[in-house]
Structures are given as structure tokens and as C-alpha cells.
């Protein structure tokens, strides 16, 4: 932890100080707001900072704590990625299209955190509509990696990952459609979890690709990740894809050993072009799991190399349908100078959407159009079935599958913006989990020679989060990462 500020605490450390009244939520919140004020000029992890709301929520939290009525997240300052609806607080998706949009309702995740008297300090920057891998597609400004301000934080949840790494808040929520929680967590040296599809409600999450999108925690350590998932997981009648399950208490999976667990290492996840330092760190992490008592075995997931193509048909197709709603009529950006309705619609969307969003809407429309539907969309859905079954078969033999999270460490700003395909390759190790609907977590595993974080990914079968937490926590406790933080 960063001892120079109480915002450097983990959630579980802050909890004991708050409950013993050694620090108040208002003090902790003011420390977070001070740190945001001090660092934001350089890091730029926030689209909106909410000081007045945060102080009033902190005072309410202090009253609850004084009454002996605190929950695990009561009074703890957090951020939400700016694609989650917050009533009365602008929710922009880092898009001109939603600049100034103030939702009339809260997302279910927002509501669940507020029910614990959590404190919202602001909204995190992202690639516009969560489409991207570097946060450079934000229509407002790029976020910088706290470990090296000339480098990207990853994306699309780059604001959340950078804010947590820089200790501008104690935790954040990201969303992950193809790796958008895990890849930035890896690049920023924090923990990021994409839960099983359907475990966390998507109500109030601005839709990108509905069959792939999932909200999850970005935290400083694995124990915090379990606490935050406890708060947000569970059935929601407002989301028709929400699973009817009663989630367990995930903190009960912490502090266990790995004896008897079988872990698979798919050879296909050591991809061409992988940074040798990332490969070395990943192999060392696998050896550590073995020393901790797990049975490790190489395996093969032969259709892995097709996941990227499947993703770049399915995600744009779903996005082209979801983003049809931005018409400049009911809310959001609107070109009022046009002569006719059609003209207004085309001009609104031309000015409101950035280049990557337009590219994906166009690509999706192409894949879904007459004459191409079978060759692209249907074919991708069939390969999706094959990839999903391949994982199911693997999980009959293994309790978990492990790999690097990202083939490289954080790249420089501008390095990949000219070539969309190069940018897409950043997610090659994370997007198979979205296609299959299974959970995945990224845990820091070390630093490169240049001082850049490397992340280790653990995948399990659907609803295997307990096993995932067991492995992630044992790994974290035994690794020599020790909660390192960037010098800022």
C-alpha cells in the first residue's frame, strides 16, 4: 500500500480503521478528493469528480458507522466507470453523444453500492462507449498509466484501473466486453475481475454488446475484489439475462491452499508476438502455483486463434443494434440545424460518434446485412459454440486455466492508434472468456525491467468464482508483488 495517504489503504484495511473510529469516512473521502485534485492533471482518470455528493454520502456513512450499522463498503470512496448510470450525476460514456447526459435513474450496481452507503468520488474515463483497449478513444482526453505517464493504462476501463493504481479511490467498477476490465488491470498493476456472464446485473450499464458485456470490480487486492463482488453479484429482475443464483460469500474462498486443484496451461495462450518478459513472468507464476500444491498440466484449446475474428463480428453486430438508439431526439447530442428528420439523424450521429464507434457500427451493419448474415454473423455464432464447448471440455479436466492477461505491458500513447487491427490484438488473451461467458481475473504478477506491471489471468468454468478467488488469493499471498504502487 501507499502509506503517504489513507486513500492508499485497501478496502479491508480501511474497514477496520473506519469501524474502530480511527478514521472517519469524511476524512477518508476528503483525502481521496485531495489526492484527485493533486494528481488528476497528470493521470486524468476521471471524466467527472463529485465532491459535494461524496461529502454528503460520507457524512451519511459516518452516521451509519456510529449507529453500528456498517456494511463492508460503508464509507469507502469509490469510482464508477462512466458507462454506469448514476441518477443526478452525468454519465457520458466518454462520448460527445452523451456529453452532459444526466440519467434519471441509478444502475443496479450503483444502487447496490449506495445501499451499503458507499461514497462516489467520481466517474472513470473510458474508450468511447467502451470500444477500445487504451482509453485513447475517449472523446474527451486519454488517461495515462500511473506507472509511466507516457504510456496508456489499457482499456476500455482505463480510468478505473488508473484511478485505483494511483490511489485516487479505493476501488472502482469496470465493464468487460472483450477484456476491458482485465487488460487495464494488468497494465496498471491492480486486480480486475470479469464475473460469469449474468452474475452481475447489466441494468443501467450503457449497452455495447449485450451478450458479452459484464460489470466487475477493479481493486488493489484479491480480498477487496471478493468484498466488492459480494456487494454487486446476484439476481436482478430488471435484467432479463441475470442468472437466478444466490451468490456465496466470496471472502470464504480466501486463505485456502491449492492442494488437489488441477490447473491447465493452454499452449495457444503463448501467442506470437508476446513480450518475452511477459512470457517469463507467466511461466514463473505457473511454477509458483505448482509450488503451492496445484497439479499443473499443459493443454490445448485449438480454436483460441479464432476468438478474435468471432469477437470482431459479434461485438460490432450487437453494437450496431444497440447504438441505433442515439438519434438526437430524446436525449444526448442533437444537431438542431438540419432541415429534415433524416438529415438531423445523419448529422447527429456523424458528429456525436468518434471514429472507432463509427467503424464498429459500420462493420456490424455490414455483417448483419442481407447476403452477408450467414457468412459472417451466423458463422461467428457457430464458432462461438465450438469455443464454448472447448472450454467446457477443458473444465471437465481442470479446475482453472491460466495464462498471461495481456501479451504486452503498457504501450506508448499513440503507438497503436493508426492501426485498428494492432489495437484489437491487445485483447487476444481475454476475449475468449467473454465469448464463452466464463469468469476471468487478472492479478499482478510482477514488474518488467522498465518498471511496468505484468498481469496473470485465471479462468474457471461458469460460476467458478469461488475456485478463482481461492487460486488468486493464494497466488497473491505467495507472490513477491506485495501490493506495489507507482511513484507519482
Q: Which residues contact 233 (CB under 8 A, 6 or more apart)?
A: 195, 199, 200, 247, 250
- Sole binder of other proteins in the list 347, 417, 477, 488 (CB under 8 A): 347
Q: Which is nearer to other proteins, 256 or 388 (CB)?
A: 388
Which of the residues 151 through 190 are near other proteins (CB under 8 A)? none
Q: Which is nearer to other proteins, 376 or 481 (CB)?
A: 376
Is residue 389 annotated as part of the catalytic site, yes or no? no
Which of the residues 305 through 334 are near other proteins (CB under 8 A)? 305-306, 308-310, 312-313, 320, 327-334
When asked if residue 245 is in the footprint of other proteins (CB under 8 A), the reply is no
Catalytic residue among 134, 156, 167, 426: 156
- Sole binder of other proteins in the list 19, 34, 255, 350 (CB under 8 A): 350
Minimum CB–partner distance for residue 198 and other proteins (Å)? 5
- Sole binder of other proteins in the list 20, 41, 68, 240 (CB under 8 A): 240
When asked if residue 114 is in the footprint of other proteins (CB under 8 A), the reply is no
When asked if residue 198 is in the footprint of other proteins (CB under 8 A), the reply is yes
- Sole binder of other proteins in the list 358, 466, 478, 483 (CB under 8 A): 358
Q: Which residue has the cell 443494434?
A: 321
Stretch that binds other proteins, among 66-74, 157-165, 239-247, 263-271 (CB under 8 A): 239-247
Q: Which is nearer to other proteins, 104 or 260 (CB)?
A: 104
Is residue 416 annotated as part of the catalytic site, yes or no? no
Torsion of CA 228, 230, 233, 236, to 10 degrees: -110
Catalytic residue among 24, 25, 81, 426: 81
Q: Which is nearer to other proteins, 56 or 241 (CB)?
A: 241
# binding residues, other proteins (CB under 8 A): 68
- Show the binding pattern over residues 449-468: x = contacts other proteins (CB under 8 A), - = does not: -------------x------
C-alpha 446/C-alpha 456 separation (Å) is 9
- Sole binder of other proteins in the list 101, 114, 140, 270 (CB under 8 A): 101
Is residue 156 annotated as part of the catalytic site, yes or no? yes
- Sole binder of other proteins in the list 164, 258, 394, 435 (CB under 8 A): 435
Q: Which residues bind other proteins (CB under 8 A)?
A: 101-102, 104-105, 197-198, 211, 237, 240-241, 243, 303, 305-306, 308-310, 312-313, 320, 327-334, 336, 338-347, 349-350, 353, 358-359, 361-363, 365-366, 369, 376, 378-386, 388, 420-421, 435-438, 462
Residues with catalytic roles: 81, 156, 180
Amino acid at each position: 500500500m501507499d502509506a503517504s495517504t489513507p486513500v492508499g489503504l485497501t478496502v479491508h484495511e480501511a474497514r477496520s480503521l473506519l469501524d474502530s473510529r480511527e478514521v472517519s469516512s469524511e476524512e477518508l473521502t476528503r483525502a481521496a478528493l485531495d489526492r484527485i485534485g493533486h494528481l488528476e492533471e497528470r493521470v486524468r482518470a476521471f471524466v467527472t469528480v463529485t465532491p459535494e455528493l461524496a461529502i454528503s454520502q460520507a457524512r451519511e456513512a459516518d452516521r451509519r458507522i456510529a449507529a453500528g450499522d456498517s456494511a463492508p463498503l460503508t464509507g469507502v470512496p469509490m469510482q464508477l466507470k462512466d458507462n454506469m448510470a448514476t441518477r443526478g450525476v452525468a454519465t457520458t460514456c466518454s462520448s460527445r453523444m452523451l456529453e452532459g447526459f444526466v440519467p434519471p435513474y441509478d444502475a443496479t450496481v450503483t444502487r447496490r453500492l449506495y445501499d451499503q452507503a458507499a461514497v462516489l468520488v467520481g466517474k472513470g474515463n473510458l474508450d468511447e462507449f467502451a470500444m477500445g483497449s487504451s482509453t485513447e478513444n475517449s472523446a474527451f482526453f486519454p488517461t495515462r498509466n500511473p506507472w509511466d505517464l507516457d504510456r496508456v493504462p489499457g482499456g476500455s476501463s482505463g480510468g478505473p484501473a488508473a484511478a485505483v493504481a494511483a490511489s485516487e479511490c479505493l476501488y472502482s467498477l469496470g465493464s468487460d466486453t472483450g477484456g476491458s476490465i482485465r487488460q487495464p488491470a494488468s497494465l496498471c498493476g491492480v486486480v480486475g475481475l470479469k464475473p460469469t456472464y449474468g452474475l452481475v446485473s447489466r441494468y443501467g450499464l450503457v449497452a455495447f454488446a449485450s451478450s458479452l458485456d459484464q460489470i466487475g470490480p477493479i481493486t488493489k487486492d484479491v480480498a477487496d475484489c471478493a468484498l466488492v463482488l459480494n456487494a454487486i453479484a446476484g439476481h436482478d429482475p430488471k435484467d432479463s439475462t441475470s442468472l437466478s443464483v444466490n451468490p456465496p460469500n466470496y471472502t470464504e474462498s480466501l486463505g485456502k491452499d491449492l492442494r488437489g486443484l488441477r490447473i491447465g496451461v493452454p499452449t495457444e495462450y503463448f501467442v506470437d508476438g508476446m513480450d518475452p518478459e511477459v512470457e517469463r513472468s507467466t511461466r514463473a507464476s505457473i511454477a509458483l502455483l505448482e509450488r503451492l500444491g496445484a497439479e499443473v498440466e499443459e493443454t490445448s484449446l485449438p480454436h483460441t486463434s479464432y476468438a478474435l475474428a468471432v469477437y470482431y463480428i459479434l461485438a460490432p453486430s450487437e453494437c450496431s443494434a444497440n447504438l441505433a438508439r442515439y438519434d438526437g431526439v430524446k436525449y444526448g447530442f442533437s444537431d438542431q440545424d438540419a432541415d429534415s428528420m433524416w438529415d438531423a439523424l445523419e448529422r447527429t450521429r456523424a458528429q456525436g460518434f468518434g471514429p472507432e464507434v463509427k467503424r464498429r457500427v459500420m462493420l456490424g451493419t455490414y455483417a448483419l446485412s442481407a447476403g452477408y448474415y450467414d457468412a459472417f454473423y451466423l458463422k461467428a455464432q457457430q464458432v462461438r459454440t465450438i469455443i464454448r464447448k472447448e472450454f467446457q471440455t477443458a473444465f471437465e479436466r481442470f479446475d482453472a486455466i491460466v495464462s498471461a492477461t495481456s501479451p504486452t505491458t503498457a504501450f506508448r500513447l499513440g503507438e497503436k492508434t493508426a492501426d485498428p487491427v494492432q489495437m484489437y490484438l491487445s485483447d487476444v488473451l481475454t476475449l475468449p472468456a467473454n465469448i464463452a461467458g466464463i469468469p476471468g481475473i487478472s492479478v499482478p504478477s510482477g514488474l518488467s525491467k522498465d518498471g511496468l506491471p505484468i498481469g496473470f489471468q485465471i479462468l474457471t468454468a461458469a460460476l467458478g468464482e469461488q475456485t478463482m478467488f481461492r487460486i488468486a488469493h493464494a497466488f497473491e499471498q505467495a507472490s513477491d508483488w506485495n501490493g506495489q504502487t507507482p511513484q507519482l
